[in-house]
Amino acid sequence: MEERSMSGFCIRSGSCVRSASTTTGTKCGRWNPTNEQVKVLTELFSSGLRTPSTDQIQKISTQLSFYGKIESKNVFYWFQNHKARERQKRRRKVSSSDDDDDNSIRRENTMSRNSSSQNFAQLYQVSEHRRVIETLELFPLNSFGESGSKNLSNYTNDCRDNNNNNNMFSYTMREQMDHPPLDLCLSFM
Amino acid sequence: MEERSMSGFCIRSGSCVRSASTTTGTKCGRWNPTNEQVKVLTELFSSGLRTPSTDQIQKISTQLSFYGKIESKNVFYWFQNHKARERQKRRRKVSSSDDDDDNSIRRENTMSRNSSSQNFAQLYQVSEHRRVIETLELFPLNSFGESGSKNLSNYTNDCRDNNNNNNMFSYTMREQMDHPPLDLCLSFM
DNA sequence: GCAAATTAATGATTTATTCAAG
DNA sequence: CTTGAATAAATCATTAATTTGC
């Protein structure tokens, strides 16, 4: 109890950066998605997007920031939670049979393991990627309102390709040149 | 079998970037900690560090990079895994009683939930924090061996402030070898 | 002694659970 | 009571040990 208030206090006063977009009276607490944001996210989800890649998250986040304050982590968490809760919801109803929920993009994501830094990105790396506001399409948007499956598979393929460092953004190298000479000397014990 | 080799193959040929430092035959696959790195990490762990904050991770990572290639995510994962596996190990032996393993720093980390971006950082944010090598102590080292609670709370407060964003990275320093403080910070044990 | 084949460790990812703000 | 955020547990995948047949 005391602990809580203590710490709570610190944060509020200390670490809340609230860089901008305070126009809406944004507190600093947790993200509160606008209707539009939720709408888009939901559409993406129902289009089959389950575990967006780092870049996708970046883009989505950037796009959605048009509707209000948002960070990439919010997008990340949203998908995590939504995915989990939809599944949960489904489990309560039909205990077995259709689990396509898990399918669509899943396989692809499994592959993405190969891309080593891909998934981790979701967990850690993204950060400040530097926004680059460029208005690229988030992904094949047309798949939303209209036909589903077919576009979807295309989309899926697309997705995967993103694993190639599709830099172009910022950062690019993140870790690529990570290795300083140092390990040359030391790594071999 | 086939799958295994298949997959192995793919990875090797496909996504391995290996920009440089191939001299040592650096693969590109997963991080392979050096003995020194493991040693230090283990010491930190046994000193009670369970869930390092973003900044701690950064610092640890930077320091350890002296011994070889390493990224912050590796540090993050290492602690995750080590913590989990120690617990697991213990569970197998003594099903109850002493769980001090979980204690020491735990409280503090729990509190850190309040700091919104703190823990998330662990998952996502860190990225390039890159912080100068400044010789800050990784954490209140003195608090470990000695008195606990008091120093600890100060520490907590400190943490909060570190959330400031920092910019740029510089690998530079690594090479320059201003050899940091490495030992200053870590050698305490 | 030495590689191929197995197994054991452990790095990395995903899923489930929990906490707590609104 | 809903849901954003964070942590822990479970799982996957790759690398290092080691065993084995030669």
Q: Which of B37, B40, B116 to mutate against chain A (most A CBs within 10 Å)?
A: B116
What's the pLDDT score for residue B65?
Answer: 94
Q: How far apart are the first and last CA of chain A?
A: 49
To the nearest whole Å, the CA of A156 is away from the closest chain B CA by: 18
A53 DSSP assignment: -
Strand D nucleotides, any atom under 7 Å from protein beta carbons: they are 3-10, 12-16
Strand D, CB < 7 A, residues 116-175 of B? 116-120, 122-123
- For A57-74, what is each residue's pLDDT tens digit? 888 888 888 888 888 888
Among A26-35, A49-58, B48-57, B168-177, the least confident range? B168-177
What's the pLDDT score for residue B75?
Answer: 93
Cβ-Cβ contacts under 8 Å between A and B: the total is 147
pLDDT of B43 > 90? The answer is yes
Of A120, A183, A186, the CB nearest to B73: A120
Q: Minimal Cα distance from A130: which residue of B?
A: B167
User: With left for phi above 0 and alpha for psi between -120 and 50, is residue B26 left, alpha or beta?
Assistant: beta
- Contact list, B129 vs chain A (CB under 8 Å): 127
Among A24-28, A93-97, B113-117, B153-157, the least confident range? B153-157
- CA B133 to each of CA B35, B45, B185, B186: distance values in angstroms, whole numbers, following the listed order: 22, 22, 11, 14
Of A124, A135, A137, A111, the closest CA to residue A174 belongs to A124
Among A66-70, A76-80, B93-97, B179-183, the least confident range? B179-183
pLDDT of A37 > 80? The answer is yes
- For A149-164, what is each residue's pLDDT tens digit? 223 223 222 222 233 2
Q: Taking the CB of residue B161, how many other CB atoms lie within 10 A of it?
A: 11
CB contact under 8 A, B20 and A126: no
Q: Taking the CB of residue B67, how many other CB atoms lie within 10 A of it?
A: 22
To the nearest whole Å, the CA of B133 is away from the closest chain A CA by: 15
CB contact under 8 A, A187 and B67: yes
Which residues contact residue A88 at a Cβ distance below 8 angstroms, ignoring those fewer than 6 apart? none
- Contact list, A3 vs chain B (CB under 8 Å): 107, 111
- CA A64 to each of CA A37, A61, A67, A138: distance values in angstroms, whole numbers, following the listed order: 6, 5, 5, 10
Looking at per-residue pLDDT, the higher value among B97 and A9 belongs to B97
Of A8, A124, A163, the CB nearest to B126: A124
Strand D, CB < 7 A, residues 120-159 of A? none
Looking at per-residue pLDDT, the higher value among B43 and A189 belongs to B43
pLDDT of B61 > 90? The answer is yes
CB contact under 8 A, B115 and A11: yes
Task: Give the percent of chain B with pLDDT over 90.
Answer: 21
To the nearest whole Å, the CA of B87 is away from the closest chain A CA by: 22
- Contact list, A125 vs chain B (CB under 8 Å): 73, 124, 126-127
Q: Minimal Cα distance from B32: which residue of A?
A: A187
Whether the CB-CB separation of A70 and A78 falls below 8 Å is answered with no
pLDDT of B181 > 70? The answer is no
- For B83-140, what is each residue's pLDDT tens digit? 999 988 887 766 544 444 444 433 344 333 333 334 443 455 433 332 222 222 343 3
- For A94-137, what is each residue's pLDDT tens digit? 554 433 333 333 333 333 333 333 444 445 543 333 222 222 23
CA distance A86 to A55: 24
Q: Where are the alpha helices (DSSP H) in chain B?
A: 2-14, 35-46, 54-64, 72-93, 106-111, 117-120, 141-145, 149-161, 172-176, 182-186
CB contact under 8 A, B157 and A29: no
Q: Minimal Cα distance from B33: which residue of A?
A: A187
- Contact list, B77 vs chain A (CB under 8 Å): 120
What's the pLDDT score for residue A80?
Answer: 82
- Contact list, A11 vs chain B (CB under 8 Å): 114-116, 160
- Tally of CA atoms within 13 A in the half-sphere of B158 that contains its CB: 15
Of B35, B128, B163, the CB nearest to A128: B128
Looking at per-residue pLDDT, the higher value among B50 and A120 belongs to B50
DSSP reduced 3-state for A49: coil
Q: Is the pTM of this model over 0.75?
A: no
Q: Minimal Cα distance from A163: which residue of B?
A: B15
Whether the CB-CB separation of A80 and A57 falls below 8 Å is answered with no
A79, burial (CB in 10 Å: exposed 0-12, middle 13-18, buried 19+): buried
